[in-house]
A and B are shown apart, each in its own frame.
Chain A
Amino acid sequence: MASSDVARQPDKGVRSLSLAGHVGFDSLPDQLVNKSICQGFCFNILCIGETGIGKSTLMDTLFNTNFENFESSHFEPQVKLRAQTYDLQETNVRLRLTVVNTVGFGDQMNKQESYQPVVDYIDRQFESYLQEELKIKRSLHNYHDSRVHACLYFISPSGHSLKSLDLVTMKKLDSKVNIIPVIAKADTISKSELHKFKIKIMSELVSNGVQIYQFPLDDETVAKVNTTMNGHLPFAVVGSTEEVAVGNKMVKARQYPWGVVQVENENHCDFVKLREMLICVNMEDLREQTHTRHYELYRRCKLEELGFKDTDSECKPVSLQQTYEAKRQEFLVELQKREDEMRQMFVQRVKDKEAELKEAERELQSRFEQLKRLHAEEKAALEEKKRLLDDDLSSFGKRKAAAQLLQAQSLTANGKKDKDRKNSGFM
């Protein structure tokens, strides 16, 4: 991200020369600035705080716009992060601002895992930058940098001390992101309480070893103002997008029955200090710290985790490529082994399946045979029955025929008898 650089101390072998006239390279910073204007800037802020503590309102107030915000409920089962990107422009500077808010932070009954989604999000951004940097064909200059540059941690204005959730979360995040703690809704604390509160917070942070972001002191132009501001941390802020008439001006303020809290009044709250430090004076430094400190730490840990080293056991410098080669071989061998395993498993399964199928076939065959036998038996039985029936039928037929004959005979005999009787009757 930084342009070419030079060591602070002059190298040995590099002499200083004085110029006899105007050469013109004093326009270099201008050329650099012009290029940056063309490219545009990128800034990502992460706001961590409980639901309803005023994160979205503060962002609106800081950047003087109405970001699309919706109120979240208190009943989220887990902490989620919501990221929104905006393109802002002021005079000729284009800024791509990403605001990431936590949703549901501090609402759960069991807050042990609350910090994890935040840590995961930050790591994901580092990871995607690392992937881009390690690609063979990469386009770092067009890459939309989504790494979190500043983290505003909202402390609730209890007036006593930090909550343990705050301490745990900040401790997990201090090596990954620049943390700037702010006391939210500062209009609920009186001045004296605020002073004690700030001291308590800072001492708790120090005693727990939490490293928050310190405004840089190495540049003389801003060292003085940064030192003063470092003493005012954490900033007690009030956010408001409503305007109230004070005197004859309209100012951003919160109106209460007992008075008006003016956001941009330094006596009322530290909002102006926060805006100045975050945006006007140290934005570039925040981005640089993220890139040179936090990202490098992540990169180092990630690569070491994967097994890469700069020097091997004899302390000879090992080139990354040798390690990659070795890893690649290892990986290929493992791949081969797994392929063989899979092939064996496949063959085994095929055999098993075949045996199963054969078994089933045999079973089916025997059933078929059985059924056939059954069928033949039934058929034989039926045939037998039919034969018997036929026999019965034929014998019945015979008997019927015989009976009919007998009847016919008897009829004719009776007829003769009748005729005889009739005939005899006449006589």
Chain B
Amino acid sequence: MSEAVVPDAMVSPAVGGLYGEKAGGPMLDFSYVGIDAILEQMRRKAMKQGFELNIMVVGQSGLGKSTLMNTLFKSKVSRKSVLATAQEKIPKTVEIKSISHDIEEKGVRMKLTVIDTPGFGDQINNENCWQPIMKFINDQYEAYLQEEININRKKRIPDSRVHCCIYFIPPTGHCLRPLDVEFMRRLSKVVNIVPVIAKADTLTLEERDFFKKKIREELRANGIDVYPQKEFDEDAEDRMINEKIREMIPFAVVGSDQEYQVNGRRLLGRKTKWGTIEVENIAHCEFAYLRDLLIRTHMQNIKDITSSIHYEMYRVRRLNENNTMVAHANGIPEHHLTAHEM
């Protein structure tokens, strides 16, 4: 090689960067360089680009999926179908319906896509009803992969991958049904699953606790890893936070998009003859925890796990099955390649 690059030397001097306040006005510390301004730049870029989120809801009809989505995002993201007859209402097979909305809050723009799966679990014979859903999820990964390996690719690859799948468990109070186990077992390998107990206002607190414990045991017994997955905890801090969440899964939620007057405040709730259930009251149901998990604290993490783990796994599988010697075409000798193939 004609030129040589001397190998890197790692030095860690700490830049002074004490950006404090001096008495009497704004100061410019001599040691201030301005590296931390990159956070602001990053924030600006993110606000300009906007965000995308794709959530899939899976569960039998009548469990309150659309209502929960509307409650989560405080707007009519899912429109309940108003069809005439019962026959038209229940589709013959599982359909996938995807609706997108642009929502904005405090300058942050987000393209929210809710993917509904009417017909899941509604047939008499429900074998393989997860297949259309698996296919849909894999199709999204495939579309992203195709765009990514194009030569002339778009500046921003549109992200239609399913980030999160909320699975609705009917509030039987006993244990998981075979359909639930089967579905979650298969899909937890390709997508982040968040199981919730739907219509939790039919369970008393003791029944709820018992049900949750039973569900957690069954998930463990079947080796189902729901979000937040244990193996993807990055450090001790993460693990601590996620352990607390894992002890509460599945969240027992109640959805509502109607407001009632309670104690002088207008709150979202369900009004019954024996009382009003406040949706956002953690003493009544765990909706607030679900909302915090999904939106306020872990949204970025959910998207990261989808793109860096689930998508990568799909990509590895896909590229291996075609046996395309991707790197080989670029000139890496064979022995180097096999070190990287699974």
Contacts and interface: CB of A to CB of B under 8 A. Distances in A.
A310 B158 CA distance: 18
B258 to A, nearest CB: 11
Interface in B256-300: 291-292, 295-300
Contact of B295 (A24, A292, A302, A303): A24
Interface string B68-104: 0000111111000000000000000000000011111
A413 B179 CA distance: 153
Contact of A18 (B16, B75, B298, B341): B75
Interface string A1-38: 01111110011011111111111111111111111111
B340 A137 contact: yes
Interface stretch (B48-56, B117-125, B243-251): B48-56
Given A19-B75, A131-B332, A134-B327, A4 B33 contact: no
A283 B41 contact: yes
B52 A6 contact: yes
Nearest to B320: A136
A62 to B, nearest CB: 7
| Max count, chain A CB within 10 A of own CB: residue among B146, B315, B324 | B324
B33 A93 contact: no
A23 B50 contact: no
A116 B1 CA distance: 12
B185 to A, nearest CB: 25
Contacts of A255: none
Given A16-B103, A27-B296, A84 B8 contact: yes
Nearest to A27: B296
A64 B31 contact: yes
B153 interface: yes
A381 interface: no
Contact of B34 (A10, A130, A275): A275
B138 to A, nearest CB: 16
Given A31-B300, A280-B34, A306-B329, A89 B17 contact: yes
A284 interface: yes
A367 interface: no
B329 to A, nearest CB: 5
B41 A284 contact: yes
A3 B43 CA distance: 11
Contacts of B134: none
B6 interface: yes
Contacts, number: 299
Contact of B300 (A14, A28, A81): A28
Interface of B: 2-6, 8-17, 19, 30-39, 41-53, 72-77, 100-111, 146, 149-153, 155-159, 234, 291-292, 295-301, 303-304, 307-308, 312, 315-316, 319-320, 322-330, 332, 340-342
21 contacts: A2-B156, A22-B74, A23-B291, A24-B292, A27-B297, A31-B299, A67-B11, A81-B3, A82-B6, A84-B11, A88-B15, A90-B32, A92-B36, A116-B2, A117-B3, A120-B3, A135-B326, A136-B320, A222-B44, A306-B330, A328-B329
Interface centre among A6, A308, A319 (most CB of B within 10 A): A6
A283 B38 CA distance: 7
Contacts of A251: 30
A296 B73 CA distance: 37
A172 interface: no
A85 interface: yes
A42 B235 CA distance: 21
Contacts of B6: 82-84
A281 B38 CA distance: 7
Interface in A37-95: 37-38, 41, 62-68, 78-93, 95
B327 A131 contact: yes
B39 A3 contact: no
Interface residues of A, number: 110
Contact of A4 (B159, B296, B297, B322): B159
A303 B326 CA distance: 11
Given A81-B3, A138-B312, A321-B324, A17 B51 contact: no
A302 to B, nearest CB: 8
A95 B102 CA distance: 35
A140 B307 CA distance: 11
B51 A25 contact: yes
Closest 4 CB pairs of A and B: A90-B17, A117-B3, A31-B300, A6-B50
Contact of B39 (A31, A36, A140): A36
B153 A296 contact: yes
Determine which residue in A11, A136, A137, A219 has the highest number of CB atoms from chain B within 10 A of its CB, and name it.
A136
B299 A88 contact: no
Nearest to A95: B35
Nearest to A3: B46
A98 interface: yes
A32 B5 contact: no
Contact of A24 (B10, B48, B296): B296
Contacts of A92: 36
A136 B316 contact: yes
Given A137-B340, A252-B30, 7 more contacts: A3-B303, A5-B52, A19-B103, A27-B295, A85-B9, A86-B12, A87-B11
A383 interface: no
Contact of B74 (A20, A67, A68, A222): A20
Contacts of A16: 101-104
A14 B100 contact: yes
Contact of B149 (A7, A98, A302, A320): A320
A145 B135 CA distance: 35
Contacts of A306: 329-330
A93 B340 CA distance: 33
Contact of B303 (A4, A29, A309): A4
Given A6-B50, A82-B5, A320-B151, A135 B300 contact: no
Nearest to B51: A28
Nearest to A142: B308
B110 A2 contact: no
Contacts of A28: 46, 51, 108, 110, 299-300
A102 B73 CA distance: 55
Contact of B9 (A14, A84, A283): A84
Nearest to A92: B36
A32 B53 CA distance: 14
Given A14-B111, A35-B300, A64-B15, A6 B51 contact: yes
A116 B3 CA distance: 9
A88 B327 contact: no
A34 B241 CA distance: 15
Given A85-B10, A320-B150, A6 B109 contact: yes
Nearest to A11: B100
B49 A32 contact: no
Question: Which of A3, A85, A95, A98: most chain B CB closer than 10 A?
Answer: A3
